[in-house]
Amino acid sequence: MANFSTNEFKAGLKIMLDGEPCNILENELVKPGKGQAFSRVKIRKLISGKVIEKTFKSGDSVEGADVLDTELAYLYTDGEFWHFMNNETFEQIAADEKAVGENVKWLVENDTCTITLWNGAPIVVQPANFVELEITETDPGLKGDTAGTGGKPATLSSGAVIRVPLFVQTGEVVKVDTRSGEYVSRAQK
């Protein structure tokens, strides 16, 4: 993998740090009027998800990370691995529990997910921003109630628990924002 000098640092560049692939979020030039320039970089470690700050001397270089985001459709899980397929090449990839992490609760069969590959292996599975899931269990609410009164918990077919308005019932399909875990609306039929 190529090395990148600090003057190539920009948001989105993937580099290796402490043996872990990282994504640069921000790069700020620190340059005294008289003196050495530094790059103060905000970095997300892609495996641990940690965001850290790191300062490099201007002109120093670091190893790039062979990291690639790819759009794949979720197929199924065998309990140990979650299987995804490239809809164009029909190539399949299996992600382990560590890569899927918390996002397991937003995986919907046939939905497209963004899979981050490091040296060809999945390290992060990112669901679509919005998914539609069926409510498998929720208390019957009062008819005529409107959204925004606090709502009630509902369990979705994926196992996720979210808050929904009182008028939404078991068996209905709802649209959820996976970034916040919040109910958006009833699904459009």
Partner 1 sequence: MQADKWRPSASIEALKQRALVLQKIRQFFAIRDVLEVDTPSLSHATVTDEHLYSFSTQFNHPNTPQACTLYLQTSPEFAMKRLLSAGSGAIYQICKSFRNEEVGNFHNPEFTMLEWYRPRFDHLQLMSEIDELMQLILGCDTAERVTYQNVFKQHLGCDPLTSTLAEIQNLASQYGHAELAAKESNKDTLLMLLFSQHIEPQIGQDRPCFVLDFPASQAALAKISATNPLVAERFELYFQGIELANGFHELTDGAEQLKRFEQDNIKRKNVGLEMMPIDQNFIAAINAGLPACAGVALGIDRLLMLAFNCSSIDQVIAFENSRA
- Chain residues that interact with partner 1, rule: CB under 8 A: 7, 28-38, 40, 54-58, 60
Closer residue to partner 1, CB minimum distance, 9 or 183: 9
Give the contacts of 49 (CB within 8 A, at least 6 positions apart).
Answer: none
Closest by Cα among 92, 100, 132, 129 to 116 = 100
> Could you tell me the smallest distance in angstroms from the CB atom of residue 122 to partner 1?
29
Which residue type does 154 have?
Answer: A
CB nearer partner 1, residue 48 or residue 185: 48
Dihedral of CA 29/32/34/38: which sign? negative
Q: Which of 61, 66, 65, 67 is nearest to 16 (CA)?
A: 65
Least distance between partner 1 and beta carbon 38 (Å): 6
Nearest distance in Å: CB 31, partner 1: 6
Instruction: Pick the closer one to partner 1 by CB: 26 or 91.
Output: 26
Which residue in this structure is represented by tokens 């640092």?
9
Torsion, Cα of 31, 34, 35, 37 (10° steps): 20
* Closest CB 40 distance from partner 1, rounded Å: 7
CB nearer to partner 1: pick between 33 and 140: 33
Longest dimension (CA), the chain: 71
Nearer to partner 1, 30 or 121 (CB): 30
> Whole-number minimum distance, CB 16 to partner 1, in Å?
12
Report helix, strand or coil for 99.
Answer: helix
Judged by beta carbon, residue 60 or residue 137, the one nearer partner 1 is 60
The CA-based dihedral angle spanning residues 102, 155, 109, 168, taken in that order and rounded to the nearest 10 degrees: -130
